[in-house]
Structures are given as C-alpha cells and as structure tokens.
C-alpha cells in the first residue's frame, strides 16, 4: 500500500502546484473513516481508496480528483456525511464525491443485462464532470485487480461481465486504452479462464521462441531513425491476452507470428516528423499492401491519432509499426485524462469543470467511426434524456420531461394501457410526475383499467401519446355510435317504428355512409339528425309530421316534460359521469350532477350537452325540438368520476369565517375544486365555490350543513 508521503510526492512530481495539505488530510480522513473495515483480501479497507488514488496519479490528475479517489467510498460505506466532506474538503471535492457515490448506488441497483448500452449512457449522463467517471473507472480497475479474493463465483462473474460490458467500453470511448486493456484482460481471466490461460501460454512460447528478436527490431528501428536525423523513441508493446484472443476470434485464425503479439511504436516530436519517419520506414522496408492507415489526418472518434503501417521488418518478419508524437502517444494511452493534462499545461487557470466537459463534447462531436464511439449518440443528446430503472434493473431511456405514463408505454403498450399508478423510488407519486435520472419506477397496474384521456396532457413520448390518442378515438367512436343508436331508437319509437337493420335497409347508402355504425356515429355527432334518418327510411313520415300526437306534443312541451313524468322515460338515453373529450358533456352553465333532472341537447359535431331541466340557457333551444334528447343518469357508486356542483355562499367577515366553510365541506367529504370571492365588504364575503361531490344528495347534505353553520349567512346552489 502506498504511503502518505509517496502519494503526495507522486502528485507533486507532475503537478508542483498540487494542494499538498488537501491530499494529506484526505489520506488521514479515509484511514480513520474506514477504520478497521477489511477487504475480502484481508487488507485493511482503506488500502482500496489509496490504491485507486495511486492509479489516478498515473494519469497525472489534479488534486481534487486524487482527493476524491481517497474519499470515494467514505459516504457510502462509513459514517461520514456529504456535509462533512464539504466542510473539510470544499465544494468541488464534495461534488465529485457525491457524483461517484451516485454512480456506485446505480451499480448496486442495476443487474447487468442487455441494456448495457443504455447503462453506459446513463453513466455518462450522470457524470457532468468527467473526473467522476475517471475515479469510477480507477475504482473498478482496482476492484478487478483484487477480484480473485471474492469467495462467491457468482459475484465474481457478475462483476466481470459488468466490467466487460460497461466499464471497458466506457474506458475505450474515453480513449483510456490502458485502463480498457487491463479491465478486459482481468474480466477475460474470470469469464473464460481456460482460454485466458492458453493464450497466455502461447504468448509466453512465442516470446521465448523470438528470443532477443524484439530487442533486435527495436535497435534497428532506432538506428534507422538516427541515420535519418529524426529524434525518436522506439517502444515495443506486447498485446494483452484478451486482445489477441479477440483477434483470433474475429479473423478466425490461429496466431503464429510475432507481428500478432508485438506492435512497435516510433514516438517523435512533431507531426512533420511523423510523416518523415513514415517515409524512412517505407523506404527501407517493404510495406505490406492495404495496411497503411493515416489516423493523423483522420483521427478516430475517441481522439486517437497515429500512422499505422505493416512492413516486412528487419528480421524478415511482418512487423506492425505505429508512428506518433509523444502527445499523441499520451492521448492513446490516457485518453481524456491526457487531453486534460496537456490543456492544463497550456491554459493554466481556466475553470477545470468547464474544460472537462468541453473536452468530452469535442471528442464526441468529432466521432466518425460508429464502431469505436458512442454509436450515433452524442453527449449533448444525453442531456435531453433521462434513464430510469424497472424494478428488475433494466434501464429505460426516455426524453427529458417523461412521466411514469411514458415509462409504462416504453416498457410495453399493455403495461401503459393497464397503468393505474406508479411508485417512484418506492413512493406512490402522481402519474404526471417528471422522472429524473436513476429513478426506479414501478408501474401499478389493474386488469380492468383503461388509459385516461387526461394523460395526453402530460405524456411526452410519441409512443404513449399515440396509444392514448388511439384509445380515445376508439372509445369516442364507440360512445358516439351508442349515443346515435339511442337517439335513433327514440325517434323511431315515437313514430311507431322499430329500429331494425331491415328498417334501415339502404338508408346508409342513401346518406352516403358506409355502415349502420357510421350512420349512428353521424347521428351521435349531430351531423345527421335522427329525423332525417326516419324520413329516409319511411318517406311517408315526412308528410304525416305534425299530424301525429307526438309531433303535437313536441311543439307544445319541451321534451324534459315527458322525462319528468317517469312514464315516457323508458327510452331515455343513459348518461354516465363526465368523461372529458367524449361524446357527452356536462353544461358549464348549470353544473348538472347525478340526481339532478336533466335533459340533453344535441350539438352539431360535439355530441350531447347535458343541462339541468331548469337551466335558463335551454330557452334558446325551444324552437328546435329535434335537438332535445331524453336522458337519465346511469352512475354506479364505484364510479370514481368527479362531479362538480357549484354553490354561492355569503360568509360573515370575521376570523374563522372562511375556515368554517372549508372545514364543514371537508367534514362532509366534499372537495373544493375552485373558490372565487365575488364580493367583499367589511361585513361579508360573497363567494362561488365549486365542490367535487358524488351526486345531488351529497351536495344537498353539504348545503344543509353549511346552512347550519353560524358564520355562514346564506347558501344556495348556483343554477344556469
Ligand atoms: Mn471503491
């Protein structure tokens, strides 16, 4: 385990301005906080954060990042709190530690699954500071290095799969090749130990066989560069077992040659030197056709730049050669971290926060190769998305502003259609709640439930909105058809006819409608009147109109008169509660509620408007008796539709006056949905109150209770 002074020395070696005091305090803090906790390896727990910090010093990261690495498990695993961290180490470190802690929590929640791509995006989206991700990657690297100490094979496997599917690709996308290679290799050893072993043995065999060949090639390349007058460092890098295995799998070949396991690098000072060195190599050795790639003029998506070529090398071996500047080399090894270190050197004091994000955005924006970078998705887009979990840990990606309804439809249309509520992170919350990154969402379902047309007002995904629309359209049509049939039945019966398919016969065709359903729909919509239908089916009726008793009565009395006399009520159209957007509407002028005597007025294109029979606005329809429709309530007690009754009240203007009004209403199980003071003087308030009630009886009870209240002078129901 690295000692305190060693760590500080390492940081100071590349960053003389490092905050030594901060590092020292964090080192001591993490030792104390983790105290006697042990790792599975038997090491003290605090060795882990210290090693993680050590890994990050290889990337020459700033004091805040190293400090964060030291503290990264304290909030999650010890009694230390975020507040404490902020007090002791400042806002920047606190924010970073908080970020890492959040990612760790996600890790616990998510089973590795087919949603790996989404999970990677989630990690990116949640890390508004890339340093959070770097600490997380180093954390994972150290955990992988010590994976073998875990007893449970199942757990080791899970962590290895997660590493392979999520963290290694993430490291690659950030250009952090060294971490990526090591993560993959450690995971490979766990997941396929036999293959790992045989590849490792084979590598050893080739290494033995090659003898000093690597040295000979290195020396000759060095000499060649010297002769050409190009200052250069030559490096021979052996590929990792996993990379070799992948290559064998991909190319479906056994590896035989040195060129498969060692790549040589010529590291020079400048870009012109790269091309000069390339010219020298190609001039001296025969180049293998089709192997040259210029990643300097066309960098890879993750920022990687180099010239690649393969030649028949000094010892008549195919030899892979990569030519790059030392800056390119650092970027190839350290990725984003190297970008940052270079910028740091150059730019000095700019806000690191901003620069980090800029770096990543730049790299992402230049993504060209979809294989190697965030497939057709850029970080900027993640800002418009939220990633949420199902109870099983699957990740669902949604646009920002999405609600549990969108989530439900994203899981499955059936889940959306049967959705009745949602638990977000274990709490039941309204369906219109906007989801946040990392929320765990459980959809509460009921088999008999139907989509609520109101959802349309807050659902944001096309999938949810179109499903709701489709449902509304279908239900609306069904309601209009039912309504139209009822109206037609009534008119036919009044004229002494039976409404049958035979009676309708060709009528649909005459009226240019496709089916009887279309016909009823048109009547329900008010586009065709029932009387038109009657006259088309029985042309004789037109002439006799006015001579029938019914016609005469219609002229004299409004339709509701017959409704009120209970006898003629047999064919009244049943009216359920208020369903917005549907065929039946309750008039806003008189607020009919179940129990009121009501009448329907057919409104062109809008279905039927329900009024109370004493509503003043009915007067305007007295001349149009064919628009009148007998209706009756058909509301069952378990209907949870809300009916709004309106009252006018005069309350004495004294302390407690208003509260007595609301408490009496509440005591009687009414819910005030709207309250407006219409008049106010020093003695009285006059107000209009809308109350959600079950029916007229309920409203009457409330009015009676209000009248019995001393502070309330006068109460009556508001009618049209
Ligand atoms: Mn950790």
- Asked if residue 243 lies in contact with residue 261, where contact means CB atoms within 8 angstroms, the answer is no
Burial of 316 (0-12, 13-18, 19+ CB in 10 A): exposed
Encode pLDDT of 155-200 as tens digits. Answer: 899 889 888 877 887 787 777 788 999 999 999 999 988 888 888 8
Q: How far is CA 522 from the centre of its chain?
A: 42
Q: How far is CA 615 from the centre of its chain?
A: 49
Taking residues 364-392, what's their average pLDDT?
Answer: 49
Find the 114 Cα to ligand 1 centroid distance in Å: 25
DSSP summary character for residue 548: S
- Cα–Cα distance measured from residue 335 to residue 199, given in angstroms and rounded to the nearest whole number: 27
Find the 47 Cα to ligand 1 centroid distance in Å: 10
Name which residue leads in pLDDT, 190 or 588. Answer: 190
Find the 73 Cα to ligand 1 centroid distance in Å: 5
- Cα–Cα distance measured from residue 280 to residue 274, given in angstroms and rounded to the nearest whole number: 10
Q: What is the pLDDT of residue 498?
A: 82
Find the 139 Cα to ligand 1 centroid distance in Å: 5
Q: What is the pLDDT of residue 52?
A: 96
Indicate the range of 78-82, 256-260, 488-492, 520-524 predicted with least confidence.
Answer: 256-260
Q: What is the pLDDT of residue 474?
A: 82
Encode pLDDT of 596-626 as tens digits. Answer: 888 888 777 677 888 888 888 888 887 777 7
- Cα–Cα distance measured from residue 365 to residue 174, given in angstroms and rounded to the nearest whole number: 13
Q: Is beta strand 286-287 parallel, antiparallel or unpaired with respect to 427-429?
A: unpaired
Residue 250 has pLDDT above 80, yes or no: no
Find the 170 Cα to ligand 1 centroid distance in Å: 17
Name which residue leads in pLDDT, 257 or 226. Answer: 226
Encode pLDDT of 679-704 as tens digits. Answer: 888 888 888 888 888 888 888 889 88
Name which residue leads in pLDDT, 112 or 144. Answer: 144
Taking residues 200-218, what's their average pLDDT?
Answer: 81
Helix (H, G, I), strand (E, B) or coil at 223: helix
Backbone angles phi, psi at 263, to 5 degrees: -115, 140
In order of their start, the domains of the chain are 4-191 (1.10.3210.10), 196-347 (3.30.460.10), 471-586+598-609+616-631 (no CATH), 643-717 (3.30.70.260)
């349309």: which residue's tokens?
456
- Asked if residue 699 lies in contact with residue 691, where contact means CB atoms within 8 angstroms, the answer is yes
**3 state SS for 300-343:** CCCCCCCEEEEEECCCCCEEEEEEEEHHHHHHHHHCHHHHHHHH
Per-residue CA distances from 584 to 80, 175, 252, 579, 632 (Å): 61, 62, 69, 7, 12
Name which residue leads in pLDDT, 214 or 445. Answer: 445
Encode pLDDT of 16-75 as tens digits. Answer: 888 999 999 999 999 999 988 888 888 999 999 999 999 999 888 889 999 999 999 999
* Residues near 613 by beta carbon (within 8 Å), at least 6 away in sequence: 560, 563, 564, 596, 597, 598, 599
Find the 189 Cα to ligand 1 centroid distance in Å: 21
* Residues near 132 by beta carbon (within 8 Å), at least 6 away in sequence: 68, 96, 99, 100, 103, 126
**How confident is residue 253, by pLDDT bands cut at 50, 70 and 90?**
low
Encode pLDDT of 344-373 as tens digits. Answer: 444 443 333 333 344 444 444 444 433 333
Cite the active site residues.
76-77
Find the 681 Cα to ligand 1 centroid distance in Å: 68
Q: What is the pLDDT of residue 5?
A: 92
Q: Is beta strand 262-268 parallel, antiparallel or unpaired with respect to 232-238?
A: antiparallel
Find the 506 Cα to ligand 1 centroid distance in Å: 79
Find the 77 Cα to ligand 1 centroid distance in Å: 9
- Asked if residue 90 lies in contact with residue 348, where contact means CB atoms within 8 angstroms, the answer is no
Question: Mean pLDDT score of the chain, rounded to an integer?
Answer: 78
- Cα–Cα distance measured from residue 463 to residue 456, given in angstroms and rounded to the nearest whole number: 11
Q: In terms of residues, how long is the chain? A: 720
Tell me the two tokens of residue 214.
């690597």
Q: What is the pLDDT of residue 677?
A: 80
- Asked if residue 672 lies in contact with residue 662, where contact means CB atoms within 8 angstroms, the answer is yes
Helix (H, G, I), strand (E, B) or coil at 691: strand
Residue 495 has pLDDT above 60, yes or no: yes
- Asked if residue 12 lies in contact with residue 22, where contact means CB atoms within 8 angstroms, the answer is no
For residue 443, list its beta bridge partners: 422
- Cα–Cα distance measured from residue 602 to residue 608, given in angstroms and rounded to the nearest whole number: 5
The predicted model scores a pTM of 0.52
R_g of the chain computed on alpha carbons: 39
- In percent, the amount of the chain with pLDDT more than 90 equals 20
Q: What is the pLDDT of residue 347?
A: 42
**How confident is residue 561, by pLDDT bands cut at 50, 70 and 90?**
very low
Among left, alpha and beta (phi > 0; psi -120 to 50; other), residue 508 is alpha
Name which residue leads in pLDDT, 427 or 316. Answer: 427
């992402």: which residue's tokens?
364
Sheet strands (E) in 355-458: 385-389, 395-399, 419-424, 427-429, 441-445
Sheet strands (E) in 412-560: 419-424, 427-429, 441-445
Find the 30 Cα to ligand 1 centroid distance in Å: 12
- Cα–Cα distance measured from residue 87 to residue 403, given in angstroms and rounded to the nearest whole number: 36
Residue 261 has pLDDT above 80, yes or no: no
Find the 87 Cα to ligand 1 centroid distance in Å: 22
Q: Residue 282's closest CA among 313, 328, 305?
A: 313
Taking residues 562-569, what's their average pLDDT?
Answer: 37
Find the 138 Cα to ligand 1 centroid distance in Å: 9
Taking residues 652-673, what's their average pLDDT?
Answer: 83
Name which residue leads in pLDDT, 527 or 179. Answer: 179
- Asked if residue 338 lies in contact with residue 330, where contact means CB atoms within 8 angstroms, the answer is yes
Q: What is the pLDDT of residue 634?
A: 72
């Amino acid at each position: 385990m690295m000692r305190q002074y060693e760590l500080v020395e390492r940081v100071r070696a590349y960053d003389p301005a490092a905050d030594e005091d901060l590092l020292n305090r964090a080192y001591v803090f993490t030792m104390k906080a983790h105290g006697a906790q042990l790792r599975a390896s038997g090491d003290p727990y605090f060795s882990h954060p210290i090693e993680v910090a050590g890994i990050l010093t290889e990337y020459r990261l700033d004091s805040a990042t190293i400090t964060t690495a030291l503290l990264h498990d304290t909030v999650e695993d010890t009694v230390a709190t975020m507040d404490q961290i902020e007090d002791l180490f400042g806002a920047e470190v606190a924010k970073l530690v908080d970020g890492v802690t959040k990612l760790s929590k996600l890790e616990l929640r998510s089973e590795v699954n087919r949603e790996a791509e989404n999970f990677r995006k989630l990690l990116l989206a949640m890390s508004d500071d890339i340093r959070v991700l770097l600490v997380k990657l180093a954390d994972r690297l150290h955990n992988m290095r010590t994976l073998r100490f875990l007893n449970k094979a199942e757990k080791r496997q899970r962590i290895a799969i997660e590493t392979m599917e999520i963290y290694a690709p993430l490291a690659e996308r950030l250009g952090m090749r060294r971490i990526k290679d090591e993560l993959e290799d450690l995971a490979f050893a766990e997941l396929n130990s036999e293959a790992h072993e045989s590849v490792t043995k084979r590598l050893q065999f080739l290494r033995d066989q090659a003898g000093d060949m690597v040295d000979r090639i290195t020396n000759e390349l060095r000499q060649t560069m010297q002769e050409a007058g190009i200052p250069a460092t030559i490096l021979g890098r052996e590929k990792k077992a996993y990379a070799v295995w992948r290559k064998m799998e991909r190319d479906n070949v056994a590896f035989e040659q040195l060129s498969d396991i060692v790549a040589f690098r010529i590291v020079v000072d400048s870009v012109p030197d790269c091309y000069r060195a390339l010219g020298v190599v190609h001039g001296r050795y025969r180049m293998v056709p089709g192997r040259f790639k210029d990643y300097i003029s066309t960098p890879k998506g993750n920022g990687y730049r180099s010239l690649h070529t393969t030649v028949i090398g000094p010892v008549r071996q195919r030899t892979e050669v990569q030519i790059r500047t030392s800056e390119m080399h650092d970027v190839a090894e350290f990725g984003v971290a190297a970008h940052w270190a270079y910028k740091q050197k150059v730019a000095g004091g700019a806000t690191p926060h901003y620069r980090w994000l800029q770096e990543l955005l730049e790299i992402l924006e230049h993504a060209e190769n979809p294989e190697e970078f965030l497939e057709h998705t850029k970080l900027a887009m993640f800002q418009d998305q939220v990633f949420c979990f199902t109870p099983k840990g699957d990740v669902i990606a949604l646009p920002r502003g999405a609600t549990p309804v969108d989530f439900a439809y994203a899981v499955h249309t059936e889940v959306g259609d049967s959705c009745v509520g949602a638990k977000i992170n274990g709490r039941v919350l309204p369906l219109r709640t906007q989801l946040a990154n990392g929320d765990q969402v459980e959809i509460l379902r009921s088999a008999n439930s139907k989509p609520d047309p109101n959802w349309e007002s807050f659902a944001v995904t096309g999938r949810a909105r179109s499903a709701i629309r489709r449902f509304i359209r279908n239900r609306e049509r069904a309601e209009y058809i039912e309504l139209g049939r009822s109206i037609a039945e009534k008119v036919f019966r009044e004229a002494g006819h039976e409404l049958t398919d035979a009676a309708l016969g060709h009528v649909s065709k005459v009226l240019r409608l496709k089916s009887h359903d279309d016909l009823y729909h048109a009547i329900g919509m008010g586009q065709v009147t029932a009387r038109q239908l009657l006259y088309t089916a029985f042309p004789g009726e037109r002439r006799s109109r006015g001579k029938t008793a019914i016609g005469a009565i219609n002229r004299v009395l409004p339709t509701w008169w017959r409704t009120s006399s209970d006898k003629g009520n047999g064919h009244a159209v049943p009216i359920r509660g208020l369903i917005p957007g549907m065929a039946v509407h309750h008039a806003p002028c008189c607020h009919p509620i179940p129990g009121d005597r009501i009448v329907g007025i057919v409104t062109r294109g809008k279905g039927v408007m329900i009024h109370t029979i004493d509503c003043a606005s009915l007067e305007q329809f007295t001349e149009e008796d064919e628009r009148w429709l007998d209706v009756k309530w058909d509301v069952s007690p378990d209907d949870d539709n809300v009916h709004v009754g309106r009252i006018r009240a005069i309350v004495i203007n004294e302390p407690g006056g208003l509260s007595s009004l609301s408490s009496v209403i509440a005591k009687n199980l009414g819910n005030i949905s709207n309250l407006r003071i219409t008049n106010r003087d020093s003695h009285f308030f006059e107000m209009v109150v809308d109350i959600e009630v079950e029916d007229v009886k309920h409203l009457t009870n409330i009015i009676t209770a209000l009248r019995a209240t001393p502070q309330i002078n006068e109460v009556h129901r508001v009618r049209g």
